[in-house]
Amino acid sequence: MKWFLCLIAACLYLCLHVDAESRLSRSAIESAVKAAKATVDSAYEYSRRVSVERVKRDAAKPSDVLRLLKQPVGSTRDAVRAADYMDNAVKLIKRSLQRREKRSINATDLITDEDLQVIADLTGCSSRHRVPSCKTTANLNRFRTVSSVCNNRGNTRRGSSNTPFARWLPAEYQDKISLPKGWDPKRKVNRQFLPLVRAVSNRILSTANADVESDPLYTHLVTIFGQWTDHDLTFTPHSPVIRSFNSGIDCERSCERTEPCFPIEIPEQDPRFGRNSEECIPFFRSAAACGSGGSGLFFGQQTVREQINSLTAFIDVGQVYGADNSKARFLRNLTTDEGLLRVNTQYTDNGRELLPFSNMETNMCATRARITNDNNVEEVPCFVAGDERSNENIGLTSVHTLLMREHNRLARALAELNPHWDGERLYQEARKIMGGYFQVLTFRDYLLHIVGPDVMSRDLSTYPGYDEDVDPSISNVFATAAYRFAHLMIQPFMFRLNEQYQEHSDYPSPLLHKAFFTPWRITFEGGLDPILRGLVGRQAKQNTQDQMMPDELRERLFKFSGDLALDLAALNMQRGRDHGLPGYTKWRKFCGLCKPRNRKQLEKVLKNKNLAKSLLDLYRTPENIDVWLGGVAEPFVDGGRVGPLFACLIATQFQRIRQGDRLWWENEGVFTEDQRESLRETSLARIICDNTGITEVPERPFQYRPRGSGYTQCKDIPAFDLSPWTENIV
């Protein structure tokens, strides 16, 4: 293979050109970087070609869907590629140095800081760490930059897109640097072997669809809003490659663990074992940040592997607008000077706007024929929005569409108030109002139902003011564990209801696995209204300790064919190990909660003897319980939908998001007092009324009420007051 020959050539070149006195010659470093780039580019191209071919042949597997869904794009892909260049270049140099010394050594000690800097410059990693200047950025005090660079004027990258997740506790990797816990299944952790994540999923989380209990208090919109909010704050790109850089092994054809392949082993007693000769579920590691994981310098110091957040850390509705300049520009309608977002030019929803179609060469959304078993139906491309996951399910797609419409409604209304504003001003002002909307809705209406009134009043009530020393960056444990709590609130169906909030006769509610990547259900099956009625008129799933995750997510995730589907519970735990998250009890200690050390103490924390026994039968020690599982297994705090651990971690993150945001809606000078007064009256029910054909809604859409009392006619819900945005020309 070409990439392998390049690697050998580079190693030989290095062996001949290592200067014993200066450690490495410039030409040796350049040769290693050239070889590394060839290896990485070859793997990227192979992966792209295979993905395109599979999708075009309607042969995409569930693992393909997940990998394509989590692909880095745009500036994020550039950042990931630079990291892969540097990591592979350093590994080539280390191997050569070890050959030169003819013994096993810590080769990193032989690579000087100066050498690492040269490698970083040649691979593009240096630019990922360079601190941007804010001197030439216009309107910094009025509008956010798309990537949130310069939100913090002193630390200009803080909270911006394409920066590493924060670590609230030190990472725990098998090799102390990069390899996940469980990479070597025969290696003990805290003197015990880690259980297979699929075995844990089978034993602890398995729930038949028919056994699901509905939440007595909250609507299914709570679940989708959690996903919507998460997609404003966190996106962890996977490695773009499907074969090992080291050996060339295709991750989807082997159960071997070799970077970036970290397959989920299927236990022998599992009904899946041996089916279609499969013994593992393909799993790809999250991409590493530039210079982390033992490959060199990271912000001036050697560090463990860190993962990238490609989104901003702020509630800024990036799911609508994008988190980098090229994506934001692509989403705008620049054919007019009206400040509008692009819309679909082929179809409408009863005259209302739909999201534009993607122009990607791979169409993951060509699912209609497979799901309906009718090869004569028309397929449509995926929709495109500010976040790459907008087509994941039709509930999420509907919220994306709703908020695209609201931006355009605001831009048109602002143009009537201020006909002298140009398109750029209209776009930025509408975007700013949208950010204010969701800051209000998240803190006033949503978080109360998740962390409960006690945590809200203690940690998230009165705005404390902006503090430039607070780091709002999203923490790894929040993104990878705590804010995945809502995975246990997802119903097995995506409900669609008629005008009377009854099951829709023409468009019945599909099972969830038949609502993944199905924009055609919106285009051809009644549009947004039935789906939004289903979100506000039906209950969320209730997470109970004996009924955690339905089979739609454990056995049929992204299942469009006979291939083995993914298991969301197993993915969550494997991802936590991939990211080096410490175990459950260390996070309990971080939050000032008691740290269970044995079965009796775990029983007390969980208030459940059987669950504690099952967990310790698997893990042997509470220390090894995966933090996501431990968090979702806890009984709820009063009035909330998470236990004490996740209530702490979620509240801590949102505290930092709010206090570390210079452009938070309540911060003095961001909005006028009159504008803040309007924003305080923001109504999600009103947004639904303004942008759909729905005529009555629950006035509080997160709280479940049977139709009748608690439902309000749209004409009786006050409109959002835009008059404070009127600009008088002197």
Judged on CB neighbours under 10 Å (0-12, 13-18, 19+), 617 is: exposed
HEC profile for 555-588? Answer: CCECCCCCCCCECHHHHHHHHHHHCCCCCHHHHH
Contact 569, 205 (CB under 8 A): yes
What are the C-alpha distances in Å from 343 to residues 357, 423, 438? Answer: 8, 16, 22
Q: What is the mean pLDDT of residues 458-483?
A: 97
Give pLDDT, residue 278: 64
Helix (H) or strand (E) holding 551: helix 551-554
Give pLDDT, residue 17: 47
Contact 409, 690 (CB under 8 A): yes
Give pLDDT, residue 109: 54
3-state secondary structure at position 487: helix
**Nearest to 399, CA basis, from 225, 523, 272:** 225
**Nearest to 72, CA basis, from 351, 242, 286:** 286
Active site residues: 231
Give pLDDT, residue 49: 82
Question: Could you read off the pLDDT of 611-639 as tens digits, one per residue?
Answer: 999 999 999 999 999 999 999 999 999 99
Could you tell me the two tokens for 26? 């410039």
Q: How many CB atoms sit inside 10 A of residue 142's CB?
A: 13
**In this predicted model, which residue has the larger pLDDT, 573 or 29?**
573
Q: Are strands 549-550 and 206-207 parallel, antiparallel or unpaired?
A: parallel
Give pLDDT, residue 56: 67
CA 18 to chain CA centroid, Å, is 43
Task: Find tokens 């500036």 and name the residue.
Answer: 75
Contact 156, 150 (CB under 8 A): yes
What is the rounded distance in angstroms from the CA atom of residue 440 to the CA atom of residue 446? Answer: 9
Between CA 577 and CA 584, with CA 580 as vertex, the angle to 5 degrees is 75
Between CA 637 and CA 641, with CA 638 as vertex, the angle to 5 degrees is 55
pLDDT category at 19 given cuts 50, 70, 90 is: very low
Could you tell me the two tokens for 632? 């979702």
Q: Which residues pair with 250 in a beta bridge?
A: 243
Torsion of CA 203, 205, 206, 210, to 10 degrees: 150
Residue 369 confidence (pLDDT) above 50: yes
Could you tell me the two tokens for 513? 């696995």
**In this predicted model, which residue has the larger pLDDT, 260 or 599?**
599
Q: What is the mean pLDDT of residues 227-249?
A: 88
Between CA 179 and CA 191, with CA 185 as vertex, the angle to 5 degrees is 95
Class of domain 200-235+312-725: mainly alpha
What is the rounded distance in angstroms from the CA atom of residue 121 to the CA atom of residue 125? Answer: 6
Residue 10 confidence (pLDDT) above 90: no
Residues in the chain: 730
User: DSSP class of residue 201?
Assistant: I
pLDDT category at 103 given cuts 50, 70, 90 is: low
Q: Which residues contact 109 (CB under 8 A, 6 or more apart)?
A: none
Could you tell me the two tokens for 10? 């580079």
Tell if the pTM clears 0.85, that is, is over it: yes
What is the rounded distance in angstroms from the CA atom of residue 403 to the CA atom of residue 187? Answer: 49
Give pLDDT, residue 170: 96
Residue 277 confidence (pLDDT) above 80: no
What is the rounded distance in angstroms from the CA atom of residue 570 to the CA atom of residue 417? Answer: 52
Torsion of CA 239, 579, 247, 279, to 10 degrees: -100
Domain ranges of the chain: 2-129+239-259+285-309, 200-235+312-725
Q: What is the mean pLDDT of residues 239-250?
A: 80
**Nearest to 667, CA basis, from 466, 472, 469:** 466
Q: How many CB atoms sit inside 10 A of residue 44's CB?
A: 18
Contact 364, 391 (CB under 8 A): yes
Task: Find tokens 């269970």 and name the residue.
Answer: 596
Give pLDDT, residue 21: 42
Helix (H) or strand (E) holding 550: strand 549-550
3-state secondary structure at position 727: coil
What is the rounded distance in angstroms from the CA atom of residue 724 to the CA atom of residue 678? Answer: 8
| Mean pLDDT taken over the chain | 89
Question: Could you read off the pLDDT of 501-549 as tens digits, one per residue?
Answer: 999 999 999 999 999 999 999 999 999 999 999 999 999 999 999 999 9
Beta strands in 300-376 (DSSP E): 301-302, 308-309
Residue 578 confidence (pLDDT) above 60: yes
Question: Could you read off the pLDDT of 658-687 as tens digits, one per residue?
Answer: 999 999 999 999 999 999 999 999 999 999
What are the C-alpha distances in Å from 277 to residues 248, 387, 564? Answer: 21, 36, 11
Report long-range pairs for 366-373 (Cβ below 8 Å, ≥24 apart). Answer: 366/55, 366/58, 367/516, 367/517, 367/518, 367/520, 367/560, 368/518, 368/520, 369/58, 370/58, 370/560, 370/561, 371/514, 371/518, 371/560
What is the rounded distance in angstroms from the CA atom of residue 240 to the CA atom of residue 297? Answer: 23
Residue 286 confidence (pLDDT) above 80: yes
Judge if the upstream peptide bond of residue 550 is cis by omega within 30 degrees of 0: no
Could you tell me the two tokens for 563? 């291939």
pLDDT category at 129 given cuts 50, 70, 90 is: low
What is the rounded distance in angstroms from the CA atom of residue 75 to the CA atom of residue 54? Answer: 25
What are the C-alpha distances in Å from 604 to residues 89, 179, 596, 609? Answer: 51, 34, 8, 8
Q: How many CB atoms sit inside 10 A of residue 13's CB?
A: 19
Give pLDDT, residue 62: 73
**Nearest to 558, CA basis, from 392, 369, 380:** 392
Burial 158-167 (b: 16+ CB within 10 A, else e): bbbbbbbbbb
Which stretch of 154-158, 328-332, 641-645, 698-702 has the lowest confidence by average pLDDT? Answer: 154-158
What is the rounded distance in angstroms from the CA atom of residue 408 to the CA atom of residue 430? Answer: 8
Which stretch of 81-95, 229-243, 568-582 has the lowest confidence by average pLDDT? Answer: 81-95
Between CA 641 and CA 647, with CA 644 as vertex, the angle to 5 degrees is 60
What are the C-alpha distances in Å from 32 to residues 84, 303, 393? Answer: 13, 22, 44
Backbone dihedral angles phi then psi of residue 712, each to the nearest 5 degrees? -130, 140
Backbone dihedral angles phi then psi of residue 540, each to the nearest 5 degrees? -70, 165
Between CA 514 and CA 516, with CA 239 as vertex, the angle to 5 degrees is 10
What is the rounded distance in angstroms from the CA atom of residue 263 to the CA atom of residue 184? Answer: 12
What are the C-alpha distances in Å from 350 to residues 59, 185, 202? Answer: 34, 56, 44
What is the rounded distance in angstroms from the CA atom of residue 365 to the CA atom of residue 378? Answer: 12
Contact 157, 299 (CB under 8 A): no
What is the rounded distance in angstroms from the CA atom of residue 511 to the CA atom of residue 527? Answer: 17
What is the rounded distance in angstroms from the CA atom of residue 24 to the CA atom of residue 30? Answer: 10
